[in-house]
Amino acid sequence: MKQKDDFSIWPPYQFFYIESMLARTEAALISAGWIDDFHNRMESGMWKIDQYEVLNHVQNIVHQAGALSRYFWPSKKYEGRGVELRRVFSVDETSPLKSRDVRNQAEHFDEKIDEYIKGHIAGNFFPSYVGPKPPNHGAPMLFFRAYYVDKRALEILGKQIELPALVKEIMRIHLLLAKSMDSGCVFPSEAGNTDFEEEES
């Protein structure tokens, strides 16, 4: 049996991973574009906030990031594949995709709700919120889902996830995947170009 560091995905099979991950990055970036448009319109006073639509797009970005993360950090049984994909797509331990808070959005979320409410938390509860992060005065404000527009951060079940770095990493991987598709549906190293960084503007 091959050791994890010797794991290799045969080039004819690489498109399975490329296509699967590309579906995740595309879905996340569609929502990221929507959120950018929301911010632009909000700043110009042209947007009536639909909290649920905003929160659904923000949560979708994090959910897709969590699903993408599993390709790079799978369960122990498939660790070799994770090592291979991290090498090919230059994903290291500092990647925001590795965040456990991000992973938890795609794994066992129902159980996270159970654990949260078992903590006997107290305060003023709100199902949803979109706006600047409220100041800490008096009884704590507790949100199931909140998007802080001043920080571009999602808070859900008491965990805060900042979007800019996450979206940047998703975009970087998306560009690699798209170029891999254009290079015969093979990984960057197999395509003869290992430097698929985003071009400087």
- pLDDT digit string (tens) for 77-111? 999 999 999 999 999 999 999 998 888 877 778 88
pLDDT band at 68 (very low <50, low <70, confident <90, very high): very high
Backbone angles phi, psi at 153, to 5 degrees: -130, 140
Residue reference for tokens 């799978």:
74
Stretch 119-140: mean pLDDT, rounded?
82
Neighbouring residues of 156: CB distance < 8 A, sequence distance ≥ 6: 59, 62, 105, 143, 144, 145, 146
- pLDDT digit string (tens) for 15-48? 999 999 999 999 999 999 999 999 998 888 776 7
Q: Do residues 102 and 161 make contact, with C-beta atoms less than 8 angstroms apart?
A: yes
Residue 144 amino acid letter: F
In 10-109, beta strands by DSSP E: none
Neighbours of 107 (CB within 10 A): 14
State the number of CA atoms in the 13 A half-sphere of 115 facing the CB. Answer: 9
Range in 50-64, 95-109, 120-134, 186-200 the model is least confident about: 186-200
